[in-house]
Amino acid sequence: MSPTASLRESIIQHLRYSFGKDPEHAILEDWRMALSYAVRDRITDAWIGATGKTYDSGAKRVYYLSMEFLIGRLLEDGIVNLELVDEAKAVLEEFGKDYGTVLSDEPDAALGNGGLGRLAACFLESLSTIGCPAHGYGIRYEHGLFRQSFVDGRQVEQPEHWLEQRHAWEFERPEVRYRIGFGGHVDRRGETVRWYPAEVVEAEAFDTPVIGWKGRWANTLRLWSGRAIHPFDLDRFNHGDFAGAAQPEALARTISRVLYPDDTTEQGKELRLKQEYFLTAAALRDILRRFNNQFGDLRKLPAKVAIQLNDTHPAIAGPELIRVLHDERGLSFEESMEIARGCLSYTNHTLLPEALETWDETLFGRLLPRHIELIDQIDSTHAKQNPSRMNSMRADHQVKMGQLSFVMAHHVNGVSALHTELMKTTVFEELHTLHPDRIVNETNGVTPRRWLLACNPRLAGLITESIGEGWVDDLEQLKGLEPFIEDTGWLDRYAQVKRDNKAELSNWMGTTHGLHVDPEMLFDVQIKRLHEYKRQHLNILETIAHWAEIRDNPTADWTPRLKLFGGKAAPGYFFAKDIIRLINDAAAVINADPVTAPYLKIAFLPNYNVSLAERMIPAADLSEQISTAGKEASGTGNMKFALNGAPTVGTLDGANVEIREHVGAENFFLFGMTAEEVMERRKVEGHAWKAVQADPRLKRALDLIRDGRFSPGEPERYHGITANLEGADYFLVCSDFTDYWRAQREVDTAFKDTRAWAKMAALNTARSGWFSSDRTIRGYMADIWGAQSLL
């Protein structure tokens, strides 16, 4: 049977026997689910094969512990990795269904906030493509990241409920359940120590297979869901308390109810600590059970198990592993600590002080009374071995998760070259002096299957036609495009791909948001979480200043530009929400100005998520990566844009530094202070005010905002923003404005030379091969995990 015939048969079978429909009566969701099941069957075969091979080989396994997995939709990922795109399109067409419409019916699983969660998802896909035996462990949140809409320009949050729609990808594992305890007391009988928790909930496993390129391998994402041990209190029911009878279940489920919506800020809330322990304890129990079944001797644990902590969120893994080995399995404390360290490694994702997790010791001790004792013991053991006793993890009545993670890990890694160097000289300076070989760099990457092959089929097609399909799992082969770039015929085709992608995005914005834009404009895109350090306000200030200048001289030869924004603000981050509102208010005024209309438009697309990124990135001409130097640990959106042929306007921050080195300085619009200059400038008294006085354009933009030009009748609406910028301006928006302005005018000039611009864009694509997450994962395997591919 041909692949198309076989796919058709399986879809029809699933429509009939899984969903009880024939093609005549199937609704869109039935088609989406039947296609998903047909694809899932093929994934499952690869998955079961890979599981068997892993077991038989006795190889070391990798476990990636993360509070977030921002996986997005999975159907297209499965189809693309199994190379079934043409077949799926053909079958759906036979039944009069549109492929894109069926794909978009899938809920977008937003079990993460931003970069950290999306990185975890790219890593899982690369681990499968490479054939490294691995599991991802996370939480099966009932509600992922909130949905965002705008009301009068303001962000409004609605709960997200991805599980409400049918979802094809998970396998419930009722046989895999563990009891997880909280609170209670610690009991000592001579040498033996026992923790007796007061509250116990059950963690139940749900598995999602993660398929790699060409279906050669599949790993597992195992997510834990909270449930009560005795779901129903019959005693209360029998006494007439019907609502109370269901309470234990409601309480237990609270643990996995909702994802905390803060990116790079910690709230220190008790439920969050419960979630962290719930994930970690369930994962470790599962890892030890699997190890025990296969190997038994706990001393071999570090040879067979590599556990990666995605940020400090699962840092309780150190003390928990010691507790199990020492309290429950009877190994000595010292040996338990050595075994745990042999297994654990930790990735740091930020140097922002507000993101470094610390817990109040009273709260911590109440929830995890045995763990806080063990942390003290870890701390004093570490101090004994390293007499200077610097950098304690137990100061100021706090538990410091960064220090704990560092001490309990055999390797600690940063996520870009600059970030890793800054780790050594700032937060981890003292610990780095004690352990100079522990910190290593693993620059982030993105999976080219999702972020080029699937999301940009036109460009992928041109590339494959030019250099073959080897680039898909060997992205450095994109270098082979460089000779083609000299060929004007080829370059015109490259430029045509971008034009087609822009037209497609314009059409979509028109039909879904009523936003009508000219696809000939320069599409200038800033999409990422809202944060002061990411400086969306620098972007809108420059836009306002530019608008004022066009109005001064409307007949000049301006480069038409569309400023596109997307991103969510944490619900409690009021300054970030004000920035969103300012952008929307400025858009309303500027978009309505007939004088500037041919040259400038602004759009903030609501509810930015993985699927929207997949639409926007292929259509971008320019990538905004304008964080205050030293603040963005890496960035990964920056890589996706470069790969898809959008040059960067950016600072020397995070992975921008490495992107510029790879694509060439002449293909990157650099501006702004370096991380060192930033630290110096902060010491200059009145730096912001001085910068405002020195640049009349900046002054004018701030005046327009302060005078209520974008908030008619309410000039004070943005005084919080203007006062901050002219005052403390911690993120140096004003100090970097003038150079940002200059870089943007260079962009205007460069964009006018269509051919030169296309060349710059194509060179960004050809030289971005290094930013594949396959390269990143190979780095972790070799430098940190000691793991091997089984392919």
Give the number of other Cβ atoms within 10 Å of residue 649's Cβ: 25
Given the residues 227, 534, 563, 662, the one annotated as active site: 534
Which of residues 347 and 506 has its CB atom nearest to ligand Z15 in the complex? Answer: 347
Three-state DSSP class for residue 1: coil
CB 371 within 8 A of CB 320: yes
Given the residues 274, 313, 528, 601, the one annotated as active site: 528
Stretch that binds ligand Z15, among 629-637, 697-705, 736-744, 780-788 (CB under 6 A): 629-637
Query: Quick one: which of 226, 302, 314, 635 contacts ligand Z15 (CB under 6 A)?
Result: 635
349 catalytic? Reply is yes
The phi-psi region of residue 204 (left if phi > 0; otherwise alpha if psi is between -120 and 50; otherwise beta) is beta
Number of separate helices (H) and strands (E) present in the chain:
34, 23
300 catalytic? Reply is no
Query: What is the C-alpha to C-alpha distance for residues 247 and 469, in angstroms, rounded to an integer?
Result: 56
Smallest separation (angstroms) from ligand Z15 to the CB of 273: 15
Does 50 bind ligand Z15 (CB under 6 A)? Our answer is no
| CA–CA–CA angle 404, 431, 317 (5° rounding) | 20
Stretch that binds ligand Z15, among 157-165, 194-202, 459-467, 633-641 (CB under 6 A): 633-641
First to last CA, the chain: 28
Which of residues 264 and 536 has its CB atom nearest to ligand Z15 in the complex? Answer: 264
Which of residues 129 and 443 has its CB atom nearest to ligand Z15 in the complex? Answer: 443
Contact pattern from residue 206 through residue 225 relative to ligand Z15, giving x for each residue in contact according to CB under 6 A and a dash for the rest: --------------------
Given the residues 349, 537, 660, 767, the one annotated as active site: 349
Sign of the Cα pseudo-torsion (111, 113, 118, 120, in order): negative
Smallest separation (angstroms) from ligand Z15 to the CB of 528: 9
The token pair that represents 385 in the structure block: 């071995």
The token pair that represents 346 in the structure block: 């930790």
- What residue number has its CB nearest to ligand Z15? 115
Does 358 bind ligand Z15 (CB under 6 A)? Our answer is no
Which of residues 120 and 459 has its CB atom nearest to ligand Z15 in the complex? Answer: 120
577 catalytic? Reply is no
Smallest separation (angstroms) from ligand Z15 to the CB of 127: 16
Does 311 bind ligand Z15 (CB under 6 A)? Our answer is yes
Query: Quick one: which of 155, 225, 413, 634 contacts ligand Z15 (CB under 6 A)?
Result: 634
Given the residues 21, 529, 546, 577, the one annotated as active site: 529
Does 726 bind ligand Z15 (CB under 6 A)? Our answer is no
Which of residues 133 and 654 has its CB atom nearest to ligand Z15 in the complex? Answer: 654
Which of residues 316 and 521 has its CB atom nearest to ligand Z15 in the complex? Answer: 316
Number of residues that bind ligand Z15 (CB under 6 A): 19
Query: Quick one: which of 76, 442, 632, 736 contacts ligand Z15 (CB under 6 A)?
Result: 632
Smallest separation (angstroms) from ligand Z15 to the CB of 444: 5
Query: Quick one: which of 444, 584, 765, 772 contacts ligand Z15 (CB under 6 A)?
Result: 444
In the range 391-430, which residues lie near ligand Z15 by CB under 6 A?
Answer: 415
What backbone torsions phi and psi does residue 241 show, to the nearest 5 degrees? -90, 80
Which of residues 67 and 734 has its CB atom nearest to ligand Z15 in the complex? Answer: 67
Smallest separation (angstroms) from ligand Z15 to the CB of 206: 24
Strand partners, 522: 561
Which of residues 660 and 759 has its CB atom nearest to ligand Z15 in the complex? Answer: 660
Query: Quick one: which of 87, 263, 524, 774 contacts ligand Z15 (CB under 6 A)?
Result: 263
Smallest separation (angstroms) from ligand Z15 to the CB of 543: 24
534 catalytic? Reply is yes
Does 305 bind ligand Z15 (CB under 6 A)? Our answer is no
**Nearest alpha carbon to residue 324 among 289, 359, 362, 272:** 289
Strands 199-211 and 218-227 come out as antiparallel
Q: Which residues of 502-540 are buried (b: 16+ CB within 10 A; e: fewer)?
A: beebbebbeeeeebebebebbbbbbbbbbbbbbbbbbbb
Write a three-state SS string for 743-774. Answer: HHHHHHHHHHCHHHHHHHHHHHHHCCHHHEHH
Residue 383 burial by Cβ neighbours in a 10 Å radius (0-12, 13-18, 19+): middle
CB 591 within 8 A of CB 601: yes
Given the residues 636, 648, 722, 776, the one annotated as active site: 636
Does 724 bind ligand Z15 (CB under 6 A)? Our answer is no
Does 650 bind ligand Z15 (CB under 6 A)? Our answer is no
Query: What is the C-alpha to C-alpha distance for residues 738 and 702, in angstroms, rounded to an integer?
Result: 13
The CA-based dihedral angle spanning residues 252, 256, 257, 259, taken in that order and rounded to the nearest 10 degrees: 150
742 catalytic? Reply is no
Given the residues 640, 706, 717, 759, the one annotated as active site: 640
Query: What is the C-alpha to C-alpha distance for residues 641 and 650, in angstroms, rounded to an integer?
Result: 12
In the range 264-293, which residues lie near ligand Z15 by CB under 6 A?
Answer: 264
384 catalytic? Reply is no
In the range 107-136, which residues lie near ligand Z15 by CB under 6 A?
Answer: 113-116, 119
What are the C-alpha distances in Å from 331 to residues 180, 290, 323, 339, 410? 22, 19, 10, 10, 20
Which runs of E-coded beta strand occur in 248-365? 305-310, 344-347, 358-360
Query: Quick one: which of 654, 737, 757, 769 contacts ligand Z15 (CB under 6 A)?
Result: 654
Describe the strand order of the beta sheet including 411-414 as a list of residue ranges: 171-182, 199-211, 218-227, 134-139, 61-65, 305-310, 344-347, 411-414, 439-441
Residues that bind ligand Z15 (CB under 6 A): 113-116, 119, 263-264, 311, 349-350, 355, 415, 444, 632-636, 654
Residues annotated as catalytic (active site), given as ranges? 349, 528-529, 534, 636, 640
